[in-house]
Chains A and B, each alone.
Chain A
Amino acid sequence: MTRLLPLLAFAALVIILPFLSPNLYYLHVATMIGVYWVLIATLNLLVGFTGQLSVGHVGLLAVGAYAFCLLVGSSGWDPFLAMLAGGVLCALLGLLLGLPSLRLPGFYFAMVTLAFGLIVSELALAEQWLTNGSVGMAAPDFPPPFASPAGFYWLVTGIAAFITWLTWNLSRFMWGRAMVALRDSTVAAQSVAVPIYRTKLIVFVFSGLTAGIAGALYATSQSYITPDAFIVNLGIYFFVSIVIGGRGVIIGPFIGAAVLAAIPELVGPLAKYASFFYGVVLLIVVLALPGGFNDLVRAVSERFGRTPDVKTAIEPDLDKLRTAIRQAHRT
C-alpha cells in the first residue's frame, strides 16, 4: 500500500492537471509528454528489455501521423478508427522490417531502423501527391469531448496509462524475463527454450503498433504536420530517452520523455539549440549515471532501505529439493 501511494498521488495529479494549470501552454507540454510516452513505453520493451536498438521509430511515428491525417481528412474515417488503422499499419511495417533484420546481430537491426527513419522522412517530402510535400497537411481533431485541449489531454493520458499497464504486465510476468534474457544472454535464453527471433519480432511489432497510435496523437497535438516534424533526430531522441531513464524499468524512461517534451520549451528563446541541450543531458547522464536516472533512485533507496550485505553460507535442503523435484515432475 505504501508503494502504491506515490503512484495514486501521481495519477491524481495527472488527472486534475487541466484544473491546476489554466495556462494552456503547460497543458500542451504535458500532452506532448503523454504522446511521446505512448511510443517510448513500448520502445523501452524493445530497447531496454529485449536489447534491440531501434533508432528509427520516428519513421513509424510519421507513418502513423500521415495515415491518420489522410484517412480522416481525405477519406472521412472516424478518428479513432483511423488511429487504430495507423497502428496496425505500423505493426505490419514493423513485421516487414523485422523479418529480415532481427535475425542478424543487433548492429544491423539498428542500421535498418535508421535507414527506415531516413527513407520515410525523405518520402514524406518527395511524394507530394500523397503528403503535400513540404507544405504539409492539417491534422484533424478528435471528436468531442476530446476536441478541447483538456479533453485531448485526458484522451492522451488515458491511452498512455493503458499502454503503461500493458507494458507493466509484460515486464512482470514470464515474458518480461524472456525479454531480459534476450538482452543479457541469448545463450541462457536458448537453454530455457526462449525462441529468440520470434520473441524479438513480437516485441518489435507491438512497439510498431503503439508508435502508429502515437503518430495519430502527435499529429493532432501539432494541429499541422510537415516532414520537418519527423526528422531522424527525433528517433534518436526517443532512443536517448530510454538511456536517460535507465533501461529495464517500465517507468524509467518517463523522465526521458518529460525531458524530451520540456527542453525545447524550457530553453525558450534558445529553442534552436534544443538538440545541444539534449546532447548535454545525455552526456551528463552517460558519464555520471551509466544506468540512467533509475540507477540514482536505486542507489538512494538502497542506501536508506537495505540491510547490509551479509555473506551467507549455502546450505542445501535436500529433503526440500527432493520434494520439489518430485512435485515438479508430477504436474
Chain B
Amino acid sequence: MSLEAREVSRRFGGVVAVAGVSLSLQPGEVHGLIGPNGSGKTTLLNLLSGYYTIDEGSILLQNRDITRASVQSRARNGIARTFQTPKLLPAMTVLDNAMLGGWPDVRAGFIGTALSGPRSRREEAAIRLRATDMLHGVGLGSVLNRRADLLEHTAQRFLEIARALTMRPTFVLLDEPAGGLTVAEIEKLGAIIGVMRETGIGVLLVEHHTDFVFRVSDRVTTLNLGRTIAHGTPQSVRNDPEVIRVYLGA
C-alpha cells in the first residue's frame, strides 16, 4: 500500500529537472519534500500525479506500475492533488467546486443524466453531502454558495483541499499549500493535514516553509538540483550538514 517513485528522471531540453530520485509515500504519513527553487520538487509531484511524462524510472501504486497511466486514471485510483496556484472554476460556487471532486464516483452516463435518471440524482445527492461535509470540515461551511473567484486566496487553497478530499483519495499531493498564508492560517492548515494523516491518507507536502514541514512531517526528503541530498526523520534532515549548506543556511 504505497505510492512509489523509483529512480525517476525527467529532462526539459538540456536541463535535468529530476535525476534518478526515489521516494515513497505510505498511507497515514506526511512526507515533506523541500529544497531550493528549481530543485525539482514540483516536477516530481507532476511526475507522480501524471502531468509530466517520465523519461526514466517508474512509478508504482500499490505495487502496480502506473508509469504510463494518465492523470485521470491515477486520480480514479486514489491520487489527488492541489496546485501552487489554485485551479478552480471561477464562476461556480464553492460547493460546486468541491463537488467536482466527486467525479470519479460518477457512474451515471450522459443520457441517463439528461433524463434525470435515478442514478444521477442519487449520486448527486451523495456527492453534495460529502462535499458539504468536507467544506465544513476545512472551515468553508459559511461560504458554500459564494462564487469561487470571490474567495480570498487562503480560502481558495482550502477549497482545493476540500475538492481533493471529496475524491476520497488514498494519497494527497499538496503543492506549496502554505504559500501566501498567514502564520495563524498555516496552523489551521497543519491541523487539517494532521487529520488527513490520522484518517489514513498519505500526504506529500511540497513546501518552502521549512519549519512548518519539519513540524508536521513524519519523514522529509530534501532535493537539490534534481537529486536527493537527504532523507529521513525531520530531526535528522534538519541537522544534515549538506541540507544546511545548500538550503537552510546556518
Interface pair B116/A324, CB less than 8 Å apart: no
Contact partner of A180 (CB less than 8 A), chosen from B70, B92, B116, is B92
Residues of A181-196 at the interface with B, using a CB-CB cut-off of 8 Å, are 181, 184-185, 187-188, 190-195
| Minimum distance in angstroms from B212 CB to a CB of chain A | 16
In the complex, how many residue pairs between chain A and chain B have their CB atoms under 8 Å apart? Answer: 173
**Is the pair B124, A322 in contact by a Cβ cutoff of 8 Å?**
no
Q: Would you list which residues of chain A between 290 and 317 have a CB under 8 Å from chain B?
A: 309, 311-317
Give chain A residues whose Cβ lies under 8 Å from the Cβ of B196.
325
- Asked if residues A195 and B72 are in contact (CB atoms below 8 Å), the reply is yes
B67 → A minimal CB distance (Å): 17
Contact B100 A324 (CB under 8 A): no
Q: Taking CB as reference atom, which chain B residue is nearest A190?
A: B71
Interface of chain A, main secondary structure:
helix
B113 within 8 A of A: yes
Which residues on the B side are within 8 Å of A272 (C-beta)? none
B143 on the A face (CB < 8 A): yes
Name the residue of chain A whose CB is nearest to the CB of B85: A187
Complexed CA–CA distance, A314 and B225 (Å) = 37
Does any Cβ of A come within 8 Å of B120's Cβ? Answer: yes
Contacts of A320 in B (CB 8 A): 133, 136-137
B113 interface neighbour in A173, A188, A324, Cβ under 8 Å: A173
Interface size class of A (residues with CB under 8 A): 35 or more
Is A14 engaged at the interface, CB distance under 8 Å to the other chain? no
**CB contact between A174 and one of B89, B103, B154, B158 (< 8 Å): that residue:** B103
Say yes or no for A4: interface residue by CB 8 A criterion: no
**A188-B87 CB under 8 A given contacts A178-B100, A193-B72, A326-B199:** yes
State in angstroms the CA–CA spacing of A184 and B196 once bound together.
28
> Inside 8 A of B51's CB, which chain A residues have their CB?
187, 190
Q: B165 touching A170 by the CB < 8 A rule?
A: no
Chain B interface residue number, banded: 35 or more
The reply to whether B124 and A173 contact each other, CB–CB distance below 8 Å, is: yes
How many angstroms between the C-alpha atoms of A314 and B189 in the bound complex?
Answer: 10
Given contacts A193-B76, A322-B198, contact A316 B192 (CB under 8 A): yes
B113-A184 in contact (CB<8A): no
B188 within 8 A of A: yes
B110-153 interface code vs A (CB 8 A; 1 in, 0 out): 10011110001101101100100110111111110000001010
B165, A328: Cβ atoms closer than 8 Å:
yes
Interface residues of B in 66-98 (CB under 8 A from A): 70-73, 75-76, 80-81, 83, 87-92, 96
User: Would you give the shortest CB distance from B90 to chain A, in whole angstroms?
Assistant: 6
A9 within 8 A of B: no
Residues of chain A contacted by B188 (CB below 8 angstroms): 314-316
B101 to chain A, nearest CB (A): 5
By a CB distance below 8 angstroms, the chain A residues around B104 are 192-193
List chain B residues, Cβ under 8 A from A167. Answer: 114
Q: Chain A residues with Cβ under 8 A from B123's Cβ?
A: 173-174
> Is B31 part of the binding interface, using a Cβ–Cβ cutoff of 8 Å?
no
Q: Are A316 and B199 in contact, with the CB atoms below 8 A?
A: no
| Best-buried of B72, B88, B104 by chain A (most CB within 10 Å) | B72
A166-B114, A193-B76, A328-B165 known; A314-B154 Cβ under 8 A: yes
Docked CA distance A315–B168 (Å): 22
Question: Contact between A191 and B141 (Cβ–Cβ < 8 Å)?
Answer: no
Closest to A178 in B: B103
Q: Is B26 an interface residue (CB 8 A)?
A: no
Q: How far apart sit A311 and B154, CA to CA, in the bound complex (Å)?
A: 12
User: Are A325 and B108 in contact, CB atoms less than 8 angstroms apart?
Assistant: no
Q: How far is the CB of A75 from chain B (nearest CB, A)?
A: 28
Other A-B contacts than A169-B120, A318-B194, 6 sampled, CB-CB below 8 A, are: A312-B142, A317-B141, A320-B136, A321-B138, A321-B165, A325-B165
| Those 6 A-B pairs whose CB atoms lie nearest each other, nearest first | A321-B137, A324-B133, A193-B75, A314-B139, A188-B87, A316-B139
Sampled A-B contacts (22; CB under 8 Å) = A174-B106, A174-B120, A178-B103, A178-B106, A185-B87, A187-B83, A191-B75, A193-B71, A194-B103, A312-B142, A314-B139, A314-B154, A314-B158, A316-B191, A321-B136, A321-B165, A321-B195, A322-B137, A325-B195, A327-B130, A328-B130, A329-B168
